[in-house]
Structure 1
């Protein structure tokens, strides 16, 4: 019995070795991920160094997939070199992603941002399917048909393997539920254990890759059907795109720009056209060409890409000119740049005589290399979007392109990582008193607000605080209301809040209590003079009281000891979250 692999090199014994190699890879991946999970749960290294944790998590999550996809297709030496290189690059991307950000105390492992995980996976997929065909062909550039065959087959395998893994896990939970109804909870308890779930899921995925790999005819059949169905959606997309572009001169662009997501919409349409054109073109062999209608539609689609990408650039340039760079706009600009490479190549393929759409092949390869290079640059220190956006925004402020009252200081404080925090610190020392004051206010805020600085100042002026029992509002507290978002929300022009000073922790210094109708907010002053929200007191025992808490708060406030002290576990302080008991205090 000779079961052949798609490379035509292995038989039954080789298939068993491949299966064993993939199972071992899946097991190692599962154990590595569980080790990271265990470290994260128990505060062990590398949990104590988030950047290292992020690096290891991204490498452990993605690099083993290179082995699963490459074993049996690449020589052991090539596979080992490529896997090690991919793991190193992934680790560097993960390290940079975490290291450039300011992590909040509640941020949990793996600390990685979604864009890094998503674009990292895309770059790895593209790079692998550029390297594998070339390595197998023994050339720097393989025949285009090899790239097409490898990439589209891998896409089908990946989709089916993920579906198999998800279905397998759902079936395990179904079985656990069946046993649970007869009082046997062992399987359900086992599925809830990370030490079991992670290795099992990785083993299931490795098994799915093996099963789809050795059923080469099945995968190719599924791919053929998928390509055929998708290719007949190309005329639909081309007609819709042409209609949209034809309508723009009559409707104007205001509606498109008014969506505030015009670039994303237009680039998504361009990406759909690119994919559908490729489903029609496939590997470009003359015996695999689609009907005449699809060939002409592919040419039309190649032409339509140019105005679509042009609209994307236009929308981006308008937004950047008005509001400057942000990390999202920089990523969108990079995507538009890759789209422009596709549009130029596909336009040439559409208008050139000779072999139908032949320049598309070189365009796809060049754009794939460009995509990997752009992703690596964006998610490394080379073109870090946060750093570039911070530099642009602060430059706009300093040259007067945006007034200090309209500048988004909270972007620096909360959304641009260490680069933004450093810029904000620098602005607090600005020679412009208004800039320095607004930067200091943003630095003191504990959460993002989406109002403009001018609106925040207006809200701060509207805050009304009424002190009781002859007390006064601390001047430093009144001066920082713009940074205390709770006050801006609950103590506006419509409803004044009642303020009382009280030493809650017995340290000889007063905290500030601010009462609304339904709760009491507590604020404390740090050694640097900054007032911070400490928490809220609320009563769930008498929600129907017409007058709320405020009348009783005006009469006086006493303190009562907590029922149970805080716990310290592994150096972490844990506070009791009390159950609601509607009892009268003594």
Structure 2
């Protein structure tokens, strides 16, 4: 009983420390005072608030002193990584919306992603360090796998208890509210009550789950049994999907644009089922012949799936360059490739008569080491995804594979501090620079100013766009009206992607001239443009937009976007009456719009 009380006291102590940090950070963000006003202070404290308790909970196999040392060490590492993340925080969405008050956690979520990613590393590393004594043994691997299963179930149990606790409080608050007593609802809405109580209830739930280890062991055994039942289905689906490539091919997979994402998830689920069912490869039970062959084929199918996923990711990198998300995807791809290769080698080993899952421990350990090392390098600075991706996009700009507007938007939304440095340098371009450098400088100044161009820069940008037909003149006030067009800031008349022009439609509606700011996005999408006309007060407003191309019967056409631009430049555009009349009922016009006037052929695939 005394040992149980001691465990509970330690967990409550950790929960109290987390409560102090959590409430302090919340209050500083609410009042906009330090440390919430400085990313280099807020982010490391936030990461410490999450990492230290998590490390303590996951290192339950270690003695008390070693457990504290491990927790404090991982907490210190989280703090150092947080300092780097804070020092490199810069331009983000809240600045683009015009907020100029400095960094604030209320307007930036840049601290959540590194915290969650580092939490994965803590979850993997803490139990390994807790059980490691001297040279690693095979029994240490089995204890580590069991600790991972146990910690995952403990945290899930604690989350369930926390959810039930708050469900109980909110239900009680609703009942008291029915009789006119709002004290409990008011109390729940107080941050000084809800935040500390959440961390304390969670820590106590963890201590209870740790003490009742039999529950976690029972759930772990049941999970292995259920996953062993599910994996044959997952293996069969993997085999069927790979075999379908011989019939359907891979073109549709690559054209989808998210093939790598889906393949990563499917392979991850398969590997998770394999490891849960086999206790990470520590158990090699006897199997029926048909099941053994199914598992061998299922494991072999994972490797070509990962090869295809890696190739799909490479295609995206070749087309659009590196971004922080794609760099993280590269790490995920590498980890899954190692595990899929281990599963394939294990399947080949089974064909030679060896027991199943014997090679999984080696591949699991290698994948874990790569994952933890990759997370540390990417979050800690040596391979910072934001810096690497900014360098990649700058190379694409030099080779004209990205438009100036898209490059500036990347720096503005995804570059953080590294993007801010490049934007600042671009904005200082001398007046004697070439036209391309001047355009970059203007867009960079707009981004640094919150994306809101001044009237002077707006007029310069509109006047730089080509106007058709020849001889047309923009009326007064239309330049300011175009300022409400979101596509204007990303217009670049010198490239195919993002090219814009202004199109005057003379005598379009009741003798009035309408204007269209037409933007072309690549060679596959229909140009996007809104139709501007003056209202009764003479103010320019949007009255409509351009629809999709159709033939004379009203059937949709696959129309090359460049053809519409060419037709406008060559003045080959004519007005055509609607193929169907509107209805007039007692002086009231009812417009008609036929979706299809004939039997249209199915589009080619």
Shorter-normalised TM-score: what interval? 0.7 to 0.9
Please say if residues 224 and 278 of structure 2, whose CA atoms lie closer than 8 Å, have aligned partners that are also in contact: no
1:494 aligns with 2:531: yes
1:417-436 correspondence runs (5 A): 417-427=416-426, 429=429, 432-436=434-438
Which residue of 2, 10, 13 corresponds with 2:2? Answer: 13
- Measure, in 2, the Cα distance between the counterparts of 1:269 and 1:275: 10
1:71-150 correspondence runs (5 A): 71=60, 73-101=61-89, 102-103=91-92, 104=94, 107-109=104-106, 111-135=109-133, 138-141=134-137, 143=139, 144-150=141-147
Shift of 1:497: 6.4
Please say if residues 309 and 336 of structure 1, whose CA atoms lie closer than 8 Å, have aligned partners that are also in contact: yes
Please say if residues 466 and 496 of structure 1, whose CA atoms lie closer than 8 Å, have aligned partners that are also in contact: no
Please say if residues 410 and 442 of structure 1, whose CA atoms lie closer than 8 Å, have aligned partners that are also in contact: no
- Measure, in 2, the Cα distance between the counterparts of 1:255 and 1:316: 15
Write out per-residue CA displacement over residues 30-85 of structure 1, whole angstroms, 9 at most, x where no aligned residue.
122101111221222212212210110111123112223335x3123321221121
Other-structure match for 2:396? 396
Other-structure match for 2:322? 325
Other-structure match for 1:199? 196
- Measure, in 2, the Cα distance between the counterparts of 1:340 and 1:377: 19
SS at match of 2:401: coil
In structure 2, the CA distance between the partners of 1:473 and 1:375, relative to structure 1 (3 Å rule), is closer
Shift of 1:286: 5.7
Other-structure match for 1:467? 476
Other-structure match for 2:386? 386
Which residue of 6, 11, 16 corresponds with 1:27? Answer: 16
- Measure, in 1, the Cα distance between the counterparts of 2:137 and 2:385: 32
Shift of 1:213: 1.3
Write out per-residue CA displacement over residues 284-306 of structure 1, whole angstroms, 9 at most, x where no aligned residue.
45675565555443332321221
Q: Which runs of 5+ in 2 are unaligned?
A: 454-460, 492-499, 503-514, 518-529, 544-605
SS at match of 1:17: helix
Shift of 1:437: 1.0
Please say if residues 257 and 315 of structure 1, whose CA atoms lie closer than 8 Å, have aligned partners that are also in contact: yes
Other-structure match for 2:277? 280
Which residue of 337, 341, 350 corresponds with 1:344? Answer: 341
Shift of 1:488: 11
Other-structure match for 2:442? 440
Please say if residues 324 and 393 of structure 1, whose CA atoms lie closer than 8 Å, have aligned partners that are also in contact: yes
Shift of 1:245: 1.1
- Measure, in 2, the Cα distance between the counterparts of 1:148 and 1:481: 53
Please say if residues 282 and 288 of structure 1, whose CA atoms lie closer than 8 Å, have aligned partners that are also in contact: no
Shift of 1:161: 1.0
Moved more, 221-230 or 138-147: 138-147
Please say if residues 8 and 204 of structure 2, whose CA atoms lie closer than 8 Å, have aligned partners that are also in contact: yes
SS at match of 2:180: coil
- Measure, in 1, the Cα distance between the counterparts of 2:85 and 2:253: 33
1:37-56 correspondence runs (5 A): 37-56=26-45
In structure 2, the CA distance between the partners of 1:156 and 1:298, relative to structure 1 (3 Å rule), is farther
In structure 2, the CA distance between the partners of 1:86 and 1:108, relative to structure 1 (3 Å rule), is same
Shift of 1:425: 3.9
- Measure, in 2, the Cα distance between the counterparts of 1:457 and 1:298: 63
Please say if residues 466 and 497 of structure 1, whose CA atoms lie closer than 8 Å, have aligned partners that are also in contact: no
In structure 2, the CA distance between the partners of 1:367 and 1:296, relative to structure 1 (3 Å rule), is same
Moved more, 289-298 or 88-97: 289-298
1:177-188 correspondence runs (5 A): 177-188=174-185
1:211-230 correspondence runs (5 A): 211-230=208-227
Shift of 1:15: 0.7
Other-structure match for 1:158? 155
Q: Which runs of 5+ in 1 are unaligned?
A: 1-11, 450-455, 501-512, 519-586
1:288-299 correspondence runs (5 A): 293-299=290-296
Shift of 1:147: 1.5
Other-structure match for 1:412? 411
Please say if residues 155 and 206 of structure 2, whose CA atoms lie closer than 8 Å, have aligned partners that are also in contact: yes
Write out per-residue CA displacement over residues 240-272 of structure 1, whole angstroms, 9 at most, x where no aligned residue.
111111111322222212221111111111111
In structure 2, the CA distance between the partners of 1:238 and 1:13, relative to structure 1 (3 Å rule), is same
Please say if residues 465 and 491 of structure 1, whose CA atoms lie closer than 8 Å, have aligned partners that are also in contact: no
Other-structure match for 1:545? none
In structure 2, the CA distance between the partners of 1:210 and 1:182, relative to structure 1 (3 Å rule), is same
In structure 2, the CA distance between the partners of 1:373 and 1:494, relative to structure 1 (3 Å rule), is same
Other-structure match for 2:578? none
SS at match of 1:81: helix
SS at match of 2:205: helix
SS at match of 1:383: coil
In structure 2, the CA distance between the partners of 1:301 and 1:473, relative to structure 1 (3 Å rule), is closer
Other-structure match for 2:366? 366
Please say if residues 43 and 111 of structure 2, whose CA atoms lie closer than 8 Å, have aligned partners that are also in contact: no
Write out per-residue CA displacement over residues 427-471 of structure 1, whole angstroms, 9 at most, x where no aligned residue.
45395522441452254144599xxxxxx9899657997437xxx
SS at match of 1:494: strand
In structure 2, the CA distance between the partners of 1:286 and 1:418, relative to structure 1 (3 Å rule), is closer
Shift of 1:168: 0.7
Write out per-residue CA displacement over residues 314-372 of structure 1, whole angstroms, 9 at most, x where no aligned residue.
11111212221121111111111111211222222111143322111111112111111
Please say if residues 36 and 105 of structure 2, whose CA atoms lie closer than 8 Å, have aligned partners that are also in contact: no
Please say if residues 280 and 290 of structure 1, whose CA atoms lie closer than 8 Å, have aligned partners that are also in contact: no
1:265 aligns with 2:274: no
- Measure, in 2, the Cα distance between the counterparts of 1:301 and 1:177: 51
Please say if residues 491 and 497 of structure 1, whose CA atoms lie closer than 8 Å, have aligned partners that are also in contact: no
- Measure, in 1, the Cα distance between the counterparts of 2:501 and 2:31: 38
Write out per-residue CA displacement over residues 89-135 of structure 1, whole angstroms, 9 at most, x where no aligned residue.
21223233333232535643485344323212211111113222224
Q: TM-score, normalised by structure 1?
A: 0.74
- Measure, in 1, the Cα distance between the counterparts of 2:396 and 2:435: 17
- Measure, in 1, the Cα distance between the counterparts of 2:238 and 2:23: 47
- Measure, in 2, the Cα distance between the counterparts of 1:271 and 1:36: 35
Q: TM-score, normalised by structure 2?
A: 0.71
Please say if residues 404 and 434 of structure 1, whose CA atoms lie closer than 8 Å, have aligned partners that are also in contact: no
Other-structure match for 1:559? none
